[in-house]
């Protein structure tokens, strides 16, 4: 006997679904509960399967399920139909009597109910996204900005669906000595990020960063195609051995998306085992036009040593088709917080998307 344990730790009924082709949403659902005779549970299940295979061909039939209460002898037969008329027609048919006769001999008690299906909400899979905000800090403001970010980030990370918060500083110096900072916020999906923005406490929690958000504010939503996240809590970074993020960005035709992602994965699987590697991630712009490769290291020296690997040139050669000549940008990694440290393989998601799919619309800011 198999018992399924749900996400809340509570045993759930065993479900056995009869094979079915995609069908219209049901309008009527019938539920037949039966107390099966002791020791006859497998016979009952086998008899239901035989009957369900035939009932699945009846006009108006949508879906059938057999459920068993964990540890007990009560079974429930759930059957969805396109209309009440279809249910009634089957109930009056000789086929129904013949098909259910075997079940009656195996039960001690039974109760039947019919329900009108009022609404159904299908699952809506989410794909991970990274939201990046770029701003500048004037001379002498860098420390204040980093302290403000540390005050804001824990509130964001407490939100449902948040995976990563990080703060990086450009290695270069802008006009009048200003420093460019990039705030990265990674989420399990855009829906979770949208809920955070709609949270009434959002504005108050983000207030410490207000002076920088109001200055040279740029926002970009990137789709996380594949990534390897570190398992860490908030890590304040010192300057003795400063971690770095190295990025390359390239325009990639839609027809090349699948091939690029396969090439990147082969490179990432090798690079992530180098001493000092913290993260390898592949991002795609919201409009599908560009890809960004992100590679984070414990220090610039660790990254430089990886480039000296004898196998490096041959390994990255397939990616040069898209990234040769791309500008490399290097950032100092100032703070990072990661909730989920698993290596995420999004290959099933990638395989399900046609390589020639139309570009995705840019999300509203």
- Domains present along the chain, CATH in parentheses: 13-116 (3.30.70.100), 129-352 (3.30.70.100)
β-strands 107-116, 277-285: how paired? unpaired
Residue 325: strand, helix, or coil: coil
CB atoms within 10 A of CB 124: 7
Could you tell me if 204 and 196 are in contact, meaning their C-beta atoms sit under 8 angstroms apart?
A: no
pLDDT for 354: 30
The DSSP 8-state label assigned to residue 148 in this structure reads: H
Structure-token match 């304040």, residue found: 236
| 289-318 mean pLDDT | 89
Could you tell me if 268 and 306 are in contact, meaning their C-beta atoms sit under 8 angstroms apart?
A: no
189-220 confidence digits (pLDDT tens): 888 888 888 888 888 898 999 888 887 778 88
| 127-144 mean pLDDT | 88
343-362 confidence digits (pLDDT tens): 333 333 333 333 222 222 22
pTM above 0.75, yes or no: no
pLDDT for 126: 73
CA quadruple 19, 22, 23, 26: dihedral, nearest 10? 70
255-273 confidence digits (pLDDT tens): 999 999 999 988 888 888 8
* Position 231 pLDDT exceeds 50: no
| 61-69 mean pLDDT | 92
Could you tell me if 356 and 254 are in contact, meaning their C-beta atoms sit under 8 angstroms apart?
A: yes
Whole-number Cα distances in Å, 74 to 11, 52, 66, 102, 335: 14, 18, 11, 17, 55
Whole-number Cα distances in Å, 187 to 6, 129, 145, 338: 24, 5, 23, 11
Most confident of 71-85, 169-183, 335-349: 71-85
CB atoms within 10 A of CB 259: 14
| 177: its two tokens | 């000595």
Could you tell me if 188 and 196 are in contact, meaning their C-beta atoms sit under 8 angstroms apart?
A: no
Whole-number Cα distances in Å, 299 to 214, 228, 278, 281, 302: 31, 18, 10, 17, 5
Could you tell me if 11 and 52 are in contact, meaning their C-beta atoms sit under 8 angstroms apart?
A: no
Separation CA 134–CA 140 (nearest Å):
18
pLDDT for 355: 29
Mean pLDDT of the chain: 78
Could you tell me if 153 and 165 are in contact, meaning their C-beta atoms sit under 8 angstroms apart?
A: yes
* Position 320 pLDDT exceeds 60: yes
Residue 349: strand, helix, or coil: helix
CB atoms within 10 A of CB 270: 16
- What's the per-residue H, E or C state across 244-289? EEEEEEEECCHHHHHHHHHHHHHHHHHHCCCCCEEEEEEEEECCCC
Helix axes 94-105 and 84-91, enclosed angle (nearest 10): 70
pLDDT for 278: 83
């Amino acid at each position: 006997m198999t018992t399924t344990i749900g996400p809340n730790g509570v045993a759930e009924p065993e479900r056995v679904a009869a094979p079915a082709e995609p069908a219209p949403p049901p309008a009527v659902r019938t539920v037949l509960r039966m107390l099966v005779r002791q020791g006859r549970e497998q016979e009952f299940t086998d008899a239901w399967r035989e009957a369900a295979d035939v009932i699945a061909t009846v006009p108006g039939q949508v879906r059938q399920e057999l459920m068993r209460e964990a540890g007990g002898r009560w079974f429930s037969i759930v059957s969805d139909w396109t209309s009440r008329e279809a249910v009634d027609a089957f109930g009056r048919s000789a086929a129904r009597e013949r098909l259910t006769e075997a079940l009656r001999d195996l039960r001690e008690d039974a109760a039947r109910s019919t329900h009108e299906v009022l609404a159904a909400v299908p699952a809506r899979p989410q794909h991970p996204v990274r939201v990046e905000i770029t701003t500048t800090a004037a001379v002498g403001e860098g420390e204040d900005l980093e302290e403000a970010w540390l005050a804001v980030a824990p509130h964001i990370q407490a939100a449902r669906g948040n995976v990563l918060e990080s703060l990086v500083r450009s290695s270069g110096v802008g006009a009048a000595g200003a420093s460019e900072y990039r705030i990265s916020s990674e989420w399990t999906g855009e829906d979770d990020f949208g809920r955070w923005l709609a949270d009434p406490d959002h504005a108050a929690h983000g207030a410490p960063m207000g002076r920088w958000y109001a200055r040279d504010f740029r926002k970009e939503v990137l789709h996380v195609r594949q990534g390897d996240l570190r398992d860490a809590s908030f890590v304040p970074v010192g300057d003795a051995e400063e971690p770095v993020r190295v990025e390359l960005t390239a325009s990639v035709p839609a027809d090349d998306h699948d091939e690029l992602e396969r090439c990147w994965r082969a490179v990432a699987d090798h690079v992530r085992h180098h001493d000092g590697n913290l993260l390898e991630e592949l991002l795609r712009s919201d409009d599908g036009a560009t890809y960004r490769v992100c590679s984070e290291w414990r220090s610039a020296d660790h990254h430089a040593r990886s480039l000296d690997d004898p196998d490096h040139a041959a390994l990255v050669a397939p990616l040069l088709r898209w990234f040769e000549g791309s500008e490399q940008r290097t950032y100092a990694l100032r703070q990072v917080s990661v909730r989920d440290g698993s290596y995420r393989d999004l290959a099933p998601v990638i395989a399900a998307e046609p390589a020639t799919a139309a570009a995705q619309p840019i999300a509203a800011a």
